[in-house]
Every structure is written in C-alpha cells, then in structure tokens.
Chain A
Amino acid sequence: MATTRSADVRRAAIVGGNRIPFARSNSAYAQASNQDMLTATLDGLIARFGLQGKRLGEVVAGAVLKHSRDFNLTRESVLGSRLSATTPAYDVQQACGTGLEAAILVANKIALGQIESGIAGGVDTTSDAPLAVGDDLRRVLISLNNAKTLQDRLKALARIRPGQLVPEIPRNAEPRTGLAMGDHAAITAKEWEIGREEQDELAVRSHSNMAAAYDRGFFDDLVTPFLGLARDNNLRPDSSVEKLATLKPVFGKGEGATMTAANSTPLTDGASAVLLASDEWAAEEGLPVLAHLVDAQTAAVDYVHGGEGLLMAPVYAMPVMLARNGLTLQDFDFYEIHEAFASTVLATLKAWEDPDFCKSKLGLDAPLGAIDRAKLNVNGSSLAAGHPFAATGGRIVAQLAKQLHEAGPGKRGLISICAAGGQGVVAILES
C-alpha cells in the first residue's frame, strides 16, 4: 500500500460511543439546553465504559448554535459530568463537520502520543436557540450601560425604536448568499439532475435501515435514553416511497423542485460523543477497540463566486485522502455519507462517477467511480435519525466503528460529511 503517512505514527482507536436519541426541534428536548444534552451524553458514555472519576487526555466538542454564555460549553459539561474535574476540554465549531472534526483532533493528539485517551462530541439545539438583539438595539444598550448621568441614560433610551425590539433568530442560511441550505442543495440537485424518486427511495431506505437496526438491538450500546425518549422521534419505520411521493417540495422552485420535508433533514436537537484512545490505554482499561481512525481530510469550495455547490466540498476532499492512502473508492466495506439532504448524497455519488467532473474539477485521469449502494448507510443515517448539526459526526463515527467491529477485523469504512460555508470532512475507519 503506497502511503505518504509517517509509519511511526500510531492510529487512534475508537472504543465506543454514546448519544441521546435525536429529537425534532421543539419536541422532547424543547426545554433542554446544549449543556444539559452534552452532559447527559457524556454521563451515558462514562457509565458504558466505567470512566467515573477518570482523568482523560481531553474532551473536545462543540455546537453550531450556541448561546454566548456557553463560551466554555464542553468544559462546563465535563465539570457537570462524572469525569474527573481535572479533564481538560475545549470547544470547536466547523458547522455540520464539528463532530467529525472533533474526533480527528482527538485522534491526531493520540496518534502523536500527546494524549492517551479523549472524548470527541457535539451537540445542537434548535429549540433552545440563542436569540440575539439587533445591532442597532445592541449599540443602544451598550451606550446605556456606559452612560454615567441620568441625562445620558435618557438620551440613550430615546434612541430605541419599536423595530429594534424584534430579536434576531439564528437561521439555517448562508450569510454570504442569504439562501437557506436547502435552497443551495436544490440548486445542486438541479445541476446534477437528481430525480425526486431516487431521493425518496434513499429516504425510505434510511428509515427502514435504522428501524431494523434498533429492532435488532444494534443501538443498545450506542444510545442512552434522555427525557423520556428512547429512540429518535424523527424515525418513521413505516415510511414508504408512495407516502413520500405525496409531499410537496419545500426547497427549490417551480416544476423541477424535488426536495421535500421527507428527503431533507429536519431541524433536530441532540448530542453525541465518541471515546477514542491509544490501543495501550484501551487494553489497560479492559476496553474494546472497535476500529481505528486511519486518516481524514477536509476541503472547502468557493460556493459564492466559484460556481460550486455549497455542500460539494467532500467530493473534493475524497480523492486527496484516497490517494494518500493508496486506496480506491471501491476499497471499502461500508460508506457513511451524511444525509443532509437525499439529493446531496446522490449528487456526491454522481460527481464521483462523472468523468468530466472528475477530470476538470478534481484533476483526475479517471473518475472515482460508483460504489455498491448496498454498503451505503446500512444502519440508517440523518434522514431517519435527524441532524443536530454538531452531533451528527459523533453519531456516524460510533455507528460505523460498531458496524466494522461486527463485520470483523480488517474491514474498512468511509465517512463523508458536508458542512455549511462550503466545507466538507471525510475520514477512513478500519477495524
């Protein structure tokens, strides 16, 4: 195997994971904060692996939607958990790539021998979202706070206008284009001629795969109930292509619009965490090694001026990582392609199969080619579970690591996650 990676760098082991069931926005977790969810998720992981009172190398997690008071979200969650209070922590944020990026950061420190163990995670709530006051009102309030005399205070207050009192609600939209992520995805879907039916089929398969996985107990050691929820409440085991065909499109315009509420992920609340370690640490603690994190790659595209789709960055990251590891796209037993939208998954696969695109955009002599669809998202993905932005990476890493472990040693899995801002993260796991 041709590789440019340094041979003396050890691979970080994935010991296991935990998440709380994901809940659609403003449902079961409407009253829960990011810190509540992340703390509960850490405690579930701690209980699963007997980490009570232990000092780990570090805990790295993040949230995409974050209150200003949560500036130290991960550290505060660690302090509220059963881990030793001497476990360091920090926050990261790379939109929907947060969870996977956190795992890569922890894995890299383990690989370099800087730490022996760590937890990577992510959490998001769209229910307990941070509301902000507009810039105009904010300036008034700051000058009010700085005012020294009654006169100054009254002057400041006099600048308040009714229109300023409407709070700014965080939107799932790109600041530079003003377009919702779904609208961006709809543009890409149209470009790549992704049909309605294939999107609906992918969504239905995600639901049925995940429901079956729950039924066979696959998630017994990956999920811990929270606030009365034992399974993701977005999961529709009885979903069918016929039912989905009746839904009206919500993204894109006119005749060609294909993206519905069913083949797009809903706003979701939830948290996930993954325990990573060196092989030695895992052995000392009597803990299993499900898989190793072999390599990872991030990429970004210019979706503002460069003519590339907002969610297409993983397409660019993939060939770089494959080449570095001497692998082809077909050398994998499982593929976990994050289902932000069914059309994103399908456009990604289509791009890798397209000779012109691969040559002109990726600079490849031959396309990466097609994958065996039977190996794709075999235990369900984000269309079924829902997608609490920063929590998705941890869900996928733990889920894939367990799949690989079940399949036996030497199996390879591929992760691809698209993120806002035109970014993407991909990674290779191996059992």
Chain B
Amino acid sequence: MSDWYRDFANSSFGTTVTKQLGLPRPAVLRRYEPGQPLLPGPAVVGSAGDGRLRDTVSALLRDAGVHVQSPATADGATDGEKPAAVILDATGLRTPGDLVSAHDFLAPAIKRLRASGRVLILADPPGEADSPAQAAARQALDGLVRSIAKELRAGSTANLIYVPAGAEGSIASPVTFFLSGRSAYVDGQVMSVSAAELPAAEDDEQPLAGKVAVVTGAARGIGAAIAAVMARDGAHVVAVDISAAGDRLAEVANEIGGTALQLDITADDAPQRLIEHLRERHGGVDIVVHNAGITRDKLLVNMDAARWNSVMAVNLQAQLDITQALLDADGVLRDHARVVCVSSQSGIAGNRGQTNYAASKAGVIGMVRAWAPRFAERRATINAVAPGFIVTEMTARMPFGTREVGSRINSLQQGGLPVDVAETIAWLSQPGSAGVNGQTVRVCGQSMLGA
C-alpha cells in the first residue's frame, strides 16, 4: 500500500506545488536494512552541565563506526559534515537555569541536522531528583523533546530516555535503537531504562540468533511483519493464528523459514497446547509476542455482550492467561525471556466506537507495568508497544477522508508501516534490551491523539 500523497509531495512537481501551497510534505523515512550503518552521517554529542553519560555514548558511537563531532560553538562554527544525530547528555542538570545550556547546544546542532535525523536526550528521572528545582529541570526536558519532535521536519525524530543512577550499563540497546532506522516511526517518546544484567554480546546482524519466538496473529498485517523481522534478525518463529487463517499462516511460515501453529488463543486449553508444542518442538521459548487482536466497534450504548466479550478475550484475557501459564510452566520460558504485548494508541487516547477495544488495550499497558518486577526477578522483561495509525489492509478499507486525516495527524505527517511496529518489537526482544522493562513504547510518529 503506497502513500500516494507522500510520493507526490516528494516528486519534483509535487515539491513545487506543496511548497507553494504550504501543504505538509511527508518525508520518505530512513528505515533499517541489514548491513546498514547505524547512522548515515556523523553525530554531535553535547551535554548540559557535567553529564555522566557523554563519554559512554561517544564511545558507543565510535564502536558502531559513527564519527563523533564536537558540539558547535555559539557562533555557529562547526567541523565539517552535517550531523545525522544530535545527542544531549542532560544528566548534569541541577536547576531550570541550567536548561539554557541545553538550548545553546541543541539549537545550532539541530539547525544543521540532516533528513531522517535523530535528536536524543538522556537525563536522570525527575522522580529521583535531589530537589524540586532539579526535578523541575529534568521534567522540563519532557516538554522540550516533545516540542522539538513537532518542530523537526524531513522525517527526523526526537526522543528522551531517562537513565537512573546505576542503569548506565543498560543504555546501549535503547540508544542504538533510537538512532537507527529501526525507530523510523517512534517519535516524541519518553521512556525509562533500569539497571539490568546484560547477557554476553550479541551478533549485531542477527541479534536474535538461536532464539525461539512465538508471534500470535501472525497470518497477516502487523503480525506477519513481526514474524518476518524476527526471522530476519535470526529467530526461529512459531507463527500462531486461528485455524481459519491457516493458509495465510502457512504462507508466512514458509516465507520466513518458521513453523505454523494453528491455535485459537482464547480456547481453554490454548495455553497448555502452546506450552506442550514449545516444549516438544523447541524445548522452550525465548520470545513471546502477543500480537493477536480484534476489533468489534460499536458505540458503548449499542454494544452487545458478544462484542465486548470477544474483544476482551482475544486482546487481553488471552495475553494474561498465556503469559501466566508460561511463567508457571517449569523451564519453558527461558532465561532472558522477552514478552512483548501489542497495545494501541486507542488504549492511550481512547477512540469513539471502541470502548471495548480501548479498554482491552489500556489493560495491556497496566498488565506489563504490573508484571515487570516479576519478570525482572527472572532476568526477563515484559513490555508493550502501542501502534498509532499503521497502514494495513484494515486501514485500506477505511473511507478515504478518514484514512487521509488519520494518517496525517502526527509529526511525521504519514501513517506508519507494519514493519515499524515489528522493528520496535524486535528491538525489545533483543538480549541487550534487558534494561527496558514494563514500558509501553508508542509507534505513532508522535500522533496528536493521546499525546
């Protein structure tokens, strides 16, 4: 499904027209491909105050083959190439007065940022501040980064990672994700990392090599994209869907060299059957992606019990039951396991006609937050992703006007692709993402809904 407007706006004639009329000009986003360098150009790393992460981040970038530039001076003098990323270490902030140094660093650097550039701010969490003034300064970054994200154009994004004391070792995976093409449609987001024990270094090209990954709802759309990205990253994918979708499921499995498992995840014996399958065929599981979901839209006042119950059963109860059964089953959920649950923008912003759907998807966010400490004890993680407007067969059936508006009301002025959700899930599934736990990552291009 092509984005006709984006393609038009990027044609030579379209460029003239959209510029003249002041129309939005959605960019072709930089998306990840295996073998691609982390960044297509140099990165500028600066700090506000005496940051503790600047050296770590610079070293990480150099290891990844990125040229690290020194910050531009106040008069705009720079050293060479335009940067592909601007990274601010704001862990040195003490008072709101220090924020001016953030401005001093960011303004000239962002002015020179390339297309599909990245702005990334690292800071301490406001909740752990020594004083109200320090908390204010840290929280201020939240508004700052969300506004930068809205000001950026040409497919660039801005995101913020809160790094508490002791969690410095966990930042490599999220920093790499936010700089890379994997995060193309993740914009204006604020997330936290926590201290975690990291497994031994992984293969950069195949970070999921040797892992067994279950993906539910894998026969089509976002699920099929998740399965494909997981397989590309080295995992053996057990693609799960209802038996009625078995032919498309088999195609997906055959395409990616995985296996197909026809299973109604809402059946009473579904958790047990899944566990037996994983035990018998693979001896366990490393990654579980709860992607299967359905919509049964109606205004609340017109909604019957069947619509309510079926949405709750598939979107929430099945995730709870299967996850609980995996936790209880001895030795099936392996060390460093990763569970990723698909929530939705509707679960954050609400949506007219989707009380059941939004409730189920909000429930998922509560579920991963509550389960995170329990997972951390087992050196595992559980997270959610909340897709915004993602271009699928489902959205292709929407009326033209609704679809066009829905896909443009975000900072990137376009709908995301299933692969954008898949890349985020594959990142959360990496062994190196051990410090990301209990989070809900929005993949929405900084949607205006629920922002």
Contact = CB atoms under 8 A, between A and B. Distances in A.
B259 A44 contact: no
Nearest to A224: B246
A221 B261 contact: yes
Nearest to B248: A225
Nearest to A50: B259
A226 B247 contact: yes
B254 A43 contact: yes
A217 interface: yes
Interface stretch (B41-49, B97-105, B262-270, B433-441): B262-270
> Which of A46, A47, A287 has most chain B Cβ within 10 Å?
A47
A220 B263 CA distance: 7
B154 interface: no
A225 B249 CA distance: 10
B259 A48 contact: yes
Nearest to A44: B250
Interface string A40-77: 10011011111011000000000000000000000000
Contacts of A288: 280-281
A165 to B, nearest CB: 40
B185 to A, nearest CB: 30
> Which of A52, A226, A288 has most chain B Cβ within 10 Å?
A52
Contacts of B259: 47-50
B111 interface: no
B40 interface: no
A286 B261 CA distance: 15
B72 interface: no
B258 to A, nearest CB: 7
A287 B243 contact: no
A398 to B, nearest CB: 14
Contacts of A40: 247
A223 B254 contact: no
A230 interface: yes
A47 B260 contact: yes
Contacts of B249: 47
B254 A52 contact: yes
B247 A50 contact: no
Given A220-B243, A220-B263, A47 B281 contact: no
B282 interface: yes
B282 A50 contact: no
Contacts of A226: 247
Nearest to A220: B262
B247 A224 contact: yes
A82 interface: yes
Interface string A268-287: 00000000000000000011
B247 A225 contact: yes
B51 interface: no
Interface in B229-249: 236, 243-247, 249
Contacts of A50: 236, 253, 257-259
Contact of B262 (A43, A53, A82, A224): A224
A219 interface: yes
Given A286-B282, A287-B281, A288-B280, A223 B246 contact: yes
B320 to A, nearest CB: 20
Contacts of B280: 288
Contact of B257 (A44, A52, A224): A52
Interface string A326-352: 000000000000000000000000000
Nearest to A226: B247
Contact of A225 (B245, B253, B281): B245
B172 to A, nearest CB: 33
A219 B243 contact: yes
Contacts of A48: 250, 259-261
A78 to B, nearest CB: 14
B281 A44 contact: no
Contacts of A47: 249-251, 253-254, 259-260
Nearest to B257: A52
Nearest to B259: A50
Contacts of B236: 50
B246 A44 contact: yes
Nearest to B247: A225
A48 B260 CA distance: 5
A217 B243 contact: yes
Interface string B251-292: 101100111111110010100010000001111000000000
Contacts of A230: 243-244, 246
A335 B264 CA distance: 29
Interface string B209-221: 0000000000000
B250 A224 contact: yes
A355 to B, nearest CB: 46
> Which of B247, B257, B264 has most chain A Cβ within 10 Å?
B247
A217 B267 contact: yes
A44 B248 CA distance: 10
A52 B257 CA distance: 6
Nearest to B245: A225
A216 to B, nearest CB: 8
Interface in A340-394: none
Contacts of A221: 261-262
A53 B257 contact: yes
Contacts of A43: 250-251, 254
Given A53-B257, A288-B281, A225 B267 contact: no
Contacts of B243: 217, 219-220, 223, 225, 230
Contacts of A224: 246-247, 250, 260, 262
Interface in A215-259: 217, 219-221, 223-226, 230
Contacts of B264: 217, 220
B32 to A, nearest CB: 24
Contacts of B254: 43, 46-47, 52, 82
A151 to B, nearest CB: 56
Interface string B375-387: 0000000000000
A226 B249 CA distance: 12
A413 B197 CA distance: 52
Interface in B422-438: none
A62 B10 CA distance: 55
Nearest to A40: B247
A106 to B, nearest CB: 22
A11 B263 CA distance: 31
B246 A225 contact: yes
Nearest to A288: B280
Nearest to A230: B244
Contacts of B246: 44, 223-225, 230
A53 B258 CA distance: 11
B263 A44 contact: no
Interface string B187-225: 000000000000000000000000000000000000000
Contacts of A52: 254, 257
B300 to A, nearest CB: 32
A47 B260 CA distance: 5
Contacts of A53: 257
A119 to B, nearest CB: 15
B292 to A, nearest CB: 15
Contact of B247 (A44, A219, A286): A44
Nearest to B260: A47
Contacts of A286: 281-283
20 contacts: A40-B247, A43-B251, A43-B254, A44-B246, A48-B261, A49-B259, A50-B236, A50-B257, A50-B258, A50-B259, A52-B257, A53-B257, A217-B263, A217-B264, A217-B267, A217-B269, A221-B262, A223-B243, A225-B246, A226-B247
Given A47-B251, A230-B246, A286-B283, 5 more contacts: A47-B254, A217-B263, A217-B273, A224-B250, A230-B244
